Structure 1
Amino acid sequence: MSSNGAAPADGVTPAAAATTDAAVASSSKSAAMERDKKRLGIRQANAQVWREGPQPPKGPLDSNMKKNTGFIKRVKQTLGVESRDHIVKEVATLNLDKYVEEVVQAIPEGLAKCASQKDSFAAAESISALHQRFGPTVFSLPLSLLLSAQLSMPSRVALQALSSDQKEKDEAARVARQRPLLRATAELCLVDLIRAKTAEAGDDPPNLSWLFSVTKDLLSVDREHSNVPIVITLLKGFGPNLIGPPSSSTTAPVDDNLDEGADVLVPRKVQSRFRKLFETYFSTLEKRVTREYERLQEQDRRNHEAYIKSGEIFEDRQHNYERMTKNFEKVHEWGKSLSDLLGVPMPKLKSEAKSSGVGLAINLDSRSSLGADRATEAEFATGKSPWEDDDTRRFYEDLTDLRDLVPPSLLGEKAGAVTADPLQTSAAADAIPSTEGKQASAEVSPLMSDSAELGEAIVPSEDEAPPGAAATTKDEIDMGAGPAAQLTTLLTKLPELTNRAMIDSAAVDFAFMNSKGARKRLVKHLGAIPRNRSDLIPYYARLVATLQPYMPDVGQGIVALLDQEFRYLQKKKNVDLSETRAKNVRFLGELTKFKVTPLYTIFHCFKMCLDDFAGPNIENLATLLETCGRYLLRNEETGERTRNILEMVRRKRAAQNLDHRYVLMLDNAYYQCNPPDRTAVPQKERSSIELYIRWLIYEVLAKKTAAKVLLQLRKLPWGDASVRKMLEETFVRSWRVKFSNLHLLAVLVADLQAYHPDFAIHVIDTVCEQMHVGMETNIFKHNVRRVATTKYLGELYNYRLVGSSLILDQLWAFVTFGHPGGRPLPGQICPTDAPDDYFRIRLVCTLLDACGHCFDRGLLRKRLDDFLIFLNLYLLSKAQPVPMDVDFMLADTLETLRPKFVMSKSFDQVSVQVDAMLAAAATSNEQQKQKESIPSVMDQDDGEEDEESSASEDELVDARSKRRESASDTESEDEAVDDDDDDEGDGEGDEDEDDEGGDESDSSPGEVAGEFERNQDQSFDQDAEDEFARELAKMMTESSSNASALSANRGHHHPKGIFDAGIPFIKKQQQERGAAAPKEAESSNDQHMRFTLLSKRGNKHLAHDVQVPADSAIAVNSRANERQQMAERQQLKKLVLGYEGRDDQDRAAMDASLARRTFRSNK
């Protein structure tokens, strides 16, 4: 009982389900009928406006600008159901006469936002109110033109200029915009709001004629079927109205009497035309589905074979297969949706699987394919293949089949199903019917070529030309103005198409505008290729070869034109037409490799050149052999004849006394087409760990992977001698690393130094030895590796692995090594550095570009300036003028390092500067030796200057080499610095105090005033003080300005306080007082501050010591100034310590890791 009672509640009987479906269908049908009745009412009102014009508005109109602007904004935002009543009301009350154009411009944007059928119908009601208010002339016709432009396809020329990714994005955006727009526009056409011009409409209603024309234009040029979503949206909304019931429908037939009535939205005749249009478009989509499926099956078979051969499917194959699968699924879904809407069946897809025998068949084929692949590789390696490599083979053999992309009718082929169309009945063997030109001129797409009835579906029969129109004598008449302009554009772009994909696309584009006149223009254009554009010849030949199977007259025409030109040039042997001859025979040779040039034609050219074996014919013969000799020699059909030609060439070359240029030309051509037999170069056997190391350094190493590479290198067994040797060999061969990654190689060495210091030492020693050997041998083929090694050395300095003295020594070695006495002279012959050899200058520029920016202050700056003077001497000792590239390179380097440095043009003048520089250096060395031999407490401060000249530049000048973690004593590169002289400590603050304290007693007479850089703009904030303090401050400011000028001349940079001005005779007085003066100053430091008062008596300057109280304004200001300058110096030191000196953005990203690399400089 319980189960019987539950059955009706839980289940639904078939009768109930049928009743529910019938109720839903009845409700939908009634809603559709109600909507059609409303459309008819709106259409009658709109038609009346088209006939009689708009009615004047009733009552006063509101001209408020704010309301009018708000109305335009509302139209632009939405025209859906929610705003319909408001818009209709405002149309009747607002004075919009001045804003009609803006309203028209806003309507397409509002229509594009109508997301449903209800919104589209509401938009039709709203726009109908505007139509009835303003009439056709002012409103409806401009709106029709605007919507036609919005629904048009983009220019093909504009699309070709975009990249593939950008083209995809633009197409997707266009389809998303046009889908709702076409649906809403179709609604406007059904209510007779949009019309075509009467001349264009013909017998059809002008509103439906406009919709048909727009739809046809969208589909007729859609080769990629990107407009299928637009068609699906249109048919979902208006399928029953536009195409009527499906042909296979079992519903009741439509009453024919309704065709002539006034209550029919779309007449049966127009429905028939729409149906033919959509079914033809579906037929092209059906072919594409089948073609995509076959390609997918073929790719699947190839992937299976590849898996059997190699055990894996490579990533590119997998990605290609996934992309093809996605494309097929998308197209197949489109096809099913369109099939359901049109009521036509989908094509049956045939699988290539053959029951259980598939695996065996594929195994057998895969072995055969593998053997063929290996044989092909062996042929490439031994030179037995007609092609140099596999890419060349694919260029000449893998041609695009136009049948897959272009309708058969445009290729001169017949549609197999129907042949009753009179426009396709006149076919000739040597010409394509003129219908092709007619169709091309109308840009009829793939959908127009599948049946003879399609012409009736798209083009009215009264507009079709009679068959006799093909008998015209002027080929240009076959092309309309539009296709002629498109062909002109295509021919103009041909010289820019310099890759395989672009030239194949041009072949497809030409096929769509194919006609007899177009083919003749193409032949004429290809034959007129510029003489200096021989790079275009292979691509033009590929274009001809792609068109050859379907347009043989193109290939025949170009070959006839070239053969005629060849015969003409044979008669003009005494005229210098070498470029024209080379272009002619090279074009013939390229067409031969594409199997376009007949064999008898090319061998006739060989015969004519051999019969008259002299002058231009030798050049022609050599060009032919270089172009197609290899192909002809290794072709079974022509191999024997080509060998005879080569033998005859050798005999004639030996028998005649030819010019050396001709002999060399013939030898090159002979060995290029018939290279001597040689064995393949054996590949070096490498262990797996060596291959891994090379892979890490040469391929993986990059800015983002440097840390990972370092980690992997540290994991290697460094204790193994063989592994260590592999690492050392890899790290010293810097020329095998990408030039932009050399700094990363130096980073790895710097990081590994902490764990393997002897490894870093070996790398540095080997790099220096390579530089020295390069200068000793000076082998030209090693120039690239010498540049890389030089760059590598500079990067090692940047990462604190070598000292500045090594860099300077290497720079000086570049300009002195091998020259007698280390002094280059003009005309002096040096075995390793010839006068016309400028390569060392390139090495100097490379090293300076790498690390020269670090030599920008202190003693290092002066040393580099001295070197640049000697570099000027070295440059003038070379043969003049200097090559332009070397001159530019040197100018760029100096512009970066020393913008104000000017290279002298006089050797004598530079020689004087060099002699003075060397003499000054010798004097400085002698003085230093004397100071070292007389130690004294008085020379404590002077010793700092001596130490500065002898201490490590990386310690005292290049602050990059200081450790942040410690301020402990460091060893000098040349001698140890005795830090016991610093009584107050070795910190940074103490170091600054030592610098400041030594300035007063360190300088000799005439030099103290140039020791400091003045701050003239320093102002003092002081309260009212005694007159003495103000006058003293004024006098000291004037004194500091004079000393600042001297300091600029000296070039020293030691910023001191304004009251620390050096006086020329102060040091002398201090020396006379002896060592007592410092002690007195120390005793009075607590209560007083000593100042020097400068006075003048006549022409004599006098200085008096003045003890100023420590709490006076001048003393307080002086201390504040000193503290401020001290803080500035500390800040500068921090900036210098953090400054890595590189402009490269890659280096900036690694600052965090480089801050931890604080290595000592290695001598």
Structure 2
Amino acid sequence: MTTIMDKRIQLREGNKRAWDGDMDVFQIAEKPDSSLKGNTVFIRRLRMQLKADQEPAILEELHTLSLEKYLGEAINALLEGLLKLKTRGDFSVAVQVTSIMHQRFFHQFTPQFLTVFFQGLESTLTEDRAKRTELAPIRKILCRLCVDLWLVGIITPEYFNKNIPSWIEGTPQAISQAGPPPLVIFRHILGTDLKDFDYADLVLSLAKHFPFLVGGADEEGQAEALGVTEAVPKMAKLVKSYCLHMQKRVKMMAILLGRQRRKFEKHYIQVGRMTTGREDSLNELETQLSTMVSTCTQLSEALGIEMQSLTDCYKEEDTITLDASFDGQPLWDSEDDMLFYTEVPDLADKVSEQVLSGGVDVADAELNDMVEKNKAARQKELLQQAVEKEREKIRANAQKARESRQAAKAPQGKKKSTTDGGESDDSDYVSEEEEEEPVKDMSPKGIQMTEFLERLSQARSKEEIDAMTIEFCHLNNKASLNRLLRHFREFSLHKAFMLPFYARMVATLGPYFPKLRASVIERLFARLRSYTRGNSRRSMERRLASFQFLSELTKFGLVPKHYIFHLLNFMGSRLNYMNLESLSKIFHCCGQFLWRNASTHQDMEELMESMMQRRTKGYLSISEILMVEELLSLVKFRGGAGETTNKRHVVSSTPIQVFLDRLYYIELSTEVAEQVAQLTLKLDWSDEEITCPTLFRIFTETWRVSHGNMAAVAAVLSRIAPSHPVFAQKVIETVLENIRQCLELNSYSLNQIRLSQVEFVSELYNQGLLNHTCILDMLFMIICYDHRRGRPTAGVYCPKDPPDSFFRIRLVLNALVTCQQKLVSDVNSSELEFFIAFFQYYIFTKTRLPMELKIDFRTLFVDLQLEQQLYSTLDGAARGLESALKGKFGERFEEEQKEQQKHKLAVEETKVDTSTVASPVPTPEFVSRKTADDIQAEQDFDREFSEMMKEAGGQGTGSFDRPVPSAKVLTQHISGASLNGAKLFSLKDGNTGPSIMGNKMGFTLLSKRGSKMQGRLVALPANSKMAKSLEQRQREEREQRHKLNSYVMAHADMEEE
């Protein structure tokens, strides 16, 4: 730096002497060379080779050449050469050459040179941004030269004030008082660039190459040595003001970008795609802001100005963060989940950079030899496969031609609509990726990749997946990536438990294999969009598994926010069975994660509100409404530390309450249950105002405890029970009573409470605090509560347990899964088989069971290892229940059944005798006198009825074996019934079949004339085929109903005894 400063001082003194008129500043040869060849070489050197390594040759030529005749060409060549400067040495040589030319040819060179120089600088200050960007390098060079020439004294204030360039605005007096020429020029340039800041690179160059001029470090005193001390404060003020304006502009653009991104997300969530214009404008804004932020940061560091933080306004809005939770709630349910989804290994610490970049870090000669040997064989195999494919295409084209000819001959059928519910089909939404099967890779890496994929499907732990991820990096090539991608896309449905491990592998490889991550997400999202547009149940399992995979990727922060919320909002706006099942899968997997996450909480809140509003619409069935409420409860009312932390801290006021809340809600786990029990036993149990009520609240309000710690709470209570049996008994009785109260209230906001308390009772049974009789009684209570006579019956509606509500089945399944091992070892096989048979019968009293519950029940049935059969129909379940009753109660059950059958026959005989002895008393409403018109009308009706019966019998669609009951029977068994149909919904107990009068059976035929319904009484012979069929069916139904009632009554009597 000292050499440069000394050279500048020396050049400044010589140039000042030249301005004063001294012509002998630079000494030349006594006989200068004026030959054309020498001058032409020098001019070419100025134009093409104005570089540091050419400095001796250029100085020698300046000393020996005359140049007077070629001065104009030399000036133009010098100006052209200045535009090609690059390094600091090049600029030093250019300034030295210009100074020597100024010293030798002052009057002929300097005015002409400076005029053209300022004109060239003006040409770079265009208003067209494209041209401005294109001319940025030239402008940067000229501005730097302007400062350099001012420092060495070529551009002086006196000359500049007399020859002010026309493109600089202002009066001569104001310009002369503004400061030195570079300050005036920079003020004019930067003053017109306070919006786009395209000239920020000029300020950055000024601060980088001349720090002493902008208030930076000046250890050598260059400003004082060069005589520019007065200009330093003005120059520093100008560039700092420009930098602060740039920081404000960057912040405004960051806020604008955040708004544009939110609009982008909302638009994408609504329509599922983004128009090209929106996406291009957003990308352009992102690129512009990124460049401006980088330049502003460098400029702020160079000038020593603190850069404003942009974290609040400039952030990736479309990504889901893993380090921020909403309102201080914990983001994960357990520490294991947090470690699994957040602590992803960095491959750069375990694999070399060359391997990650796709190269090979170890030379394997044997492997290369094998590759060369198999290369010819593989080429031959590929050629054969290509020929076979061509043959297959020819055959397929011929087959299509034959089919088209046959279709042309056949009549055209009606076109089937491919849309559902008026929704327009979308060509972008493909149901499955139509790709050809990959050619089998027989190379060494291909064989290793095959073995790798087989072992990957058998991995069962986080450590194995991490190790296999590192192993894949050594197998990395294009074919391996494609095979791994296909493996992720075509995973086996019976191995859906592997999806979290696959997602972790994608998250680990993502930073170094971005194409793999993007391809997995894009193809999975395309498949799910196609699933949400269709209602086919054939792909239900694949659909739910794909949603589970997307949820796992979401918990790793890989899925853009607008992707997942487009699917959620689309399905939330079209609530049907398929979409509700899909939403249930997503909410089960990542609903709480999206709700607690700060970056997605607002979107989840809006989704919940829209689903709450659609729940009240009239087009949803009861089962769909219940599914919606269950989905809402999964997210908003789920127990655990996240939902109730604030409430617990509000209640906790004393130190002992704070201690117990933290002990049980935060610190408790299965590993420390013994220590927690010991600490609890050390408390003052005589304190009935604080300690005992707090512990009682903790053990009875188990839904506030994390789901994974339910067994730990039960273990602590089992340790406390021997020392405080009264307290333990009170807790158990309260929990059982709470279960019964929840069944009575039947509110879906209490579903989580019901699940947690049933599981808690099952865990208490596992700890030995309850016997199996208590568990079975609880399960029978859950199934039979509020049913008529405590007996669930198919076709009998129960308001608190409708046929399309499956929550009680879920309660029973959760209880059995929790304590199945101990239950199998404690309970007799006959007792357990009886309950399972009864449970199967209860299941068939419901409508079609969801696939998830059906799979859970079958899994439980297999785990129990019972000898009984898994039934598929209601009749089979009824027969199974009957056999279970016989197996449990034996001869006593058969005797009870015979006695009830005898009692039934005796009652029927008594009724028949009474009806035979008693003289019939005609009722007033049927006493009438028939006129000729009535007789004619009856004959007409009989004729029409016989014709209608013949037509019905000739259609062959089935036998008419269920006639409408007669009017007399309707009036006997319908409370308040009238012929006008005023009340028809309050049925009395008794038989609702047609009445038998002598050898005739009465029927009522309903017909409609105009807008009125009319009924006519018809009497058919009792020995007719239709009457006998109806009587036989009714008799069988009565016997079956009575038999089931006797089964349940016999079981209840046995339990009471």
- Specify if TM > 0.5: no
- TM value normalised by structure 2: 0.30
The structure whose RCO (Cα within 8 Å, separation 6+) is larger is: 2
What TM-score comes out, normalization by structure 1 length?
0.27
